[in-house]
Structure 1
């Protein structure tokens, strides 16, 4: 399926990382607010939320908006007071005291290092000439696989070559959630997408980027028309807008670093969809051109929960 709507990204520099594997494995929670900045206990919380089926976005160990909104999602689903603040009851409900190890070892394979893209050009016309808009680094590919911020993954494995045969420490976010969604709410003010089953039970919740005031996301109710995995992208300046001064229509190749990432969930409102992104850490910082942007791993999970005809409601 070719995609006909660009949701632009704004780039910003990321934070520095200093945690070690020991900082994470030895971290404990004794009550009170999470530490400011980056901490081992926040890494644990993010992984536990991910395993529980409520996405914290990227796992990076930083206290912030995406993790706090995930906490609110877990509290809502499990019947706790919804305040986005960790306490001992929520910690216990996440199974923290009996959880499997938060970190695990992983050995880089030849396949991990294969089929990388040399460089992603900035210009849309140059992107259209590539065979794929793939990962450019092994560390980028593995960070997405384990739901981690790439800088955090590299800092956790300081000095690692990321070459085949090298052994890394990575987080273990658990298995992909299974189920069937009957309805999805896009909660604009919360910047979360929330899926419900046919009985009205909340299944999961994901952090998202939505449209700005100038290029807003849709209002009201639409429905899923189709799901495309690894989609190409149709650049149509006459329908949407001109990028990089390029006025000709183009088809961009598929790949995780493409404009819509690894999945496009087509909506009944023309040119709008739910899709992935190449900058998952920026979901709460960036606005889209109206589409709803997820991390690639979250929208891949959602793609298996929804099907044609599922309701998608945009709420304030």
Structure 2
């Protein structure tokens, strides 16, 4: 049997593919804890009108969906979500206040669990990142984070976190009064 360069190449590629198949099959079975698998959302499934602007925070797919007042601007942002269902508040709310350079204060439930926690001023150690949009629910915030490992993971005590660059964009887009649904 005579082997040409082309047949040798094809044999090599076939062998390489054969060696890779078990790894590819295994990779499909792996549960990934930090990847968002964005699910399509449409604002009409959640609200009657777009109002000033609309946000749907999907805790299952770990994505925040944004629409402007006339629906011409639609964006999706990857997020961190609450660690457990116990910490996840779902339902309708709105943005009632916005702050650049927020300070962080532990909630009462956090103080029960971690009595040594203290308030943190704005800066790189602050878990709220560079921007915060406060919801009408007490202690629930859409905010940034300096810890980029948290995005795409269950890592918060109830808030929705975004990369600092993305919360800055969203902050500029959302007026106070933006309607929000957490699902």
Structure 2: runs of 5+ lacking an equivalent: 1-23, 25-33, 43-50
| Aligned-residue offset at 1:214 | 4.9
Determine if contact 2:84/2:154 at 8 Å carries over to the other structure: no
Residue 234 of structure 1 aligns with which residue? 105
Cα distance in 1 between the residues matched to 2:159 and 2:169: 18
Count matched residues: 142
TM-aligned CA distance change 1:269 to 1:245, over 3 Å = closer
Residue 206 of structure 1 aligns with which residue? 77
| Aligned-residue offset at 1:282 | 3.0
SS in 1 for 2:93: strand
SS in 2 for 1:253: coil
TM-aligned CA distance change 1:214 to 1:221, over 3 Å = closer
Structure 1: runs of 5+ lacking an equivalent: 1-35, 37-63, 78-179
Determine if contact 1:215/1:289 at 8 Å carries over to the other structure: no
TM-score in terms of structure 1 length: 0.40
Say yes or no: does 1:251 pair with 2:119: yes
| Aligned-residue offset at 1:199 | 2.8
SS in 2 for 1:206: strand
Cα distance in 1 between the residues matched to 2:74 and 2:156: 25
Say yes or no: does 1:197 pair with 2:68: yes
Structure 2 residue aligned with 1:311, among 154, 167, 179? 179
Residue 292 of structure 1 aligns with which residue? 160
CA deviation map 1:134-162 (0-9, x unaligned):
xxxxxxxxxxxxxxxxxxxxxxxxxxxxx
Determine if contact 1:222/1:311 at 8 Å carries over to the other structure: yes
Residue 145 of structure 2 aligns with which residue? 277
Cα distance in 2 between the residues matched to 1:215 and 1:254: 28
Cα distance in 1 between the residues matched to 2:72 and 2:60: 21
Determine if contact 2:129/2:146 at 8 Å carries over to the other structure: yes
| Aligned-residue offset at 1:235 | 3.0
Residue 268 of structure 1 aligns with which residue? 136
Residue 218 of structure 1 aligns with which residue? 89
TM-aligned CA distance change 1:302 to 1:314, over 3 Å = same
| Greater gyration radius | 2
Cα distance in 1 between the residues matched to 2:76 and 2:120: 30
TM-aligned CA distance change 1:188 to 1:264, over 3 Å = same
Structure 1 residue aligned with 2:53, among 169, 175, 182? 182
Residue 89 of structure 1 aligns with which residue? none
| Aligned-residue offset at 1:307 | 1.2
Structure 1 runs, 4 residues or longer, greater than 3 Å off: none
Let me know the Cα RMSD of the aligned residues: 2.7
Cα distance in 2 between the residues matched to 1:276 and 1:244: 22
